[in-house]
Amino acid sequence: MLKERERGRFITLEGGEGSGKSTQALRLASALALCGVPVLRTREPGGAPGSERIRGLLLGGGGWDGVAETMLHFAARREHLARTIIPALSAGIWVVSDRFVDSTLAYQCFAQGVPRRVWDDLAALSLEGVWPDLTFILDLAPEEGLARAAARGPVNRYEALDLAFHARVRDGFRAVAALAPARCVLLDATDSPEGIAAAILGIVRARLRLPS
Ligand code: TYD
């Protein structure tokens, strides 16, 4: 779909609640910009006007059928890809996204019990082969992550779910890292933010060619 030679690189940050993804997305985007890389930082659910409206539905209240909820995440993602991510990559802009497709596998499939084939089918349909070049998964015990999230302010409806749910989210992300080692790097989120940022930048430099 995209011409490889001109394409920007697509990097995603994943992990459970309070794992520091947003901080690291900001640090990585700033570091890349300092290296002269054109970069766009974005997030899910959201990242495009229609996707932000769907975010309001998803975070505004629960009670969804699990497959319907998964479809809503993918509808938001498709809009995000079509309106924001693909145009940026096509223009040679690097994209750093705070959450992407692996969050749906961890939260909806591993934690909520939606069948994996639903994710496989929706990912094939909505991504059309546009997968991240590199994914960082920030691994943290849910007890610590939820405490960090609660200290930051009011919690969203996923954060309010019980510890067992968040333990399954963590297991899901660890399984993703084990299943896709060429794309995913698992990082210990208890390290210092500076240390994690340096590790991420080092891996980006080593694995993805920065434009000269
Ligand atoms: P947000 O406030 O952005 O939380 P965070 O800072 O942890 O990213 O809320 C997004 C919530 O949506 C988060 O709790 C995880 C959940 N989520 C899913 O359940 N499935 C998904 O596919 C995505 C992208 C997010």
Decide if 20 is inside a domain: yes
- The answer to whether residue 85 sits within a structural domain is yes
User: How many domains is the chain partitioned into structurally?
Assistant: 1
Q: Which atom of ligand 1 is nearest to the CA of 73?
A: 22
Q: Which residues line ligand 1 (CB under 6 A)?
A: 17, 22, 44-45, 59, 73, 99, 103-104, 107-108, 156, 158-159
What number does the ligand 1 atom closest to the CA of 107 have? 19
Q: Does 1 map to a domain?
A: no
| CA distance linking residue 190 with residue 142, whole number of Å | 12
pTM for the whole thing?
Answer: 0.96
- Residue 164 forms part of a structural domain: yes
Query: What pLDDT score was predicted for residue 187?
Result: 98
Instruction: Assign residue 109 a region (left: φ > 0; alpha: ψ between -120 and 50; beta: otherwise).
Output: alpha
Nearest CA to ligand 1 atom 22: 104
- Specify if 14 maps to a domain: yes
| CATH number, residue 135 | 3.40.50.300
Q: What is the 3-state secondary structure (H, E, C) of the chain?
A: CCCCCCCCCEEEEEECCCCCHHHHHHHHHHHHHHCCCCEEEEECCCCCHHHHHHHHHHHHCCCCCHHHHHHHHHHHHHHHHHHHHHHHHHCCCEEEEECCHHHHHHHHHHHCCCCHHHHHHHHHHHHCCCCCCEEEEEECCHHHHHHHHHHHCCCCCCCCCCHHHHHHHHHHHHHHHHHCCCCEEEEECCCCHHHHHHHHHHHHHHHCCCCC
As given in the structure block, the two tokens for residue 75 are 């509808």
Residue 3 lies in a domain: no
- Residue 137's domain spans which residues? 10-208
Tokens of 19: 């794992």
Closest atom, ligand 1, to C-alpha of 99: 24
Domain contains 2? no
In a structure prediction context, what are the per-residue pLDDT tens digits for the chain, which is 212 residues long?
Answer: 554 557 999 999 999 999 999 999 999 999 999 999 999 999 999 999 999 999 999 999 889 999 999 999 999 999 999 999 999 999 999 999 999 999 999 999 999 999 999 999 999 999 999 999 999 999 999 999 999 999 999 989 999 999 999 999 999 999 999 999 999 999 999 999 999 999 999 999 999 988 76
Phi, psi at residue 89, to the nearest 5°? Answer: -60, -40
C-alpha separations of 150 from 17, 142, 147, 155, 156 in Å: 10, 12, 5, 6, 10
- 4 belongs to a structural domain: no
Which residue, among 15, 10, 32, has the nearest Cα to 136 in the 3D structure? 15
Cα torsion at 68, 74, 80, 86 (round to 10°)?
-160
Give residue 5 CA to ligand 1 midpoint distance, Å.
Answer: 32
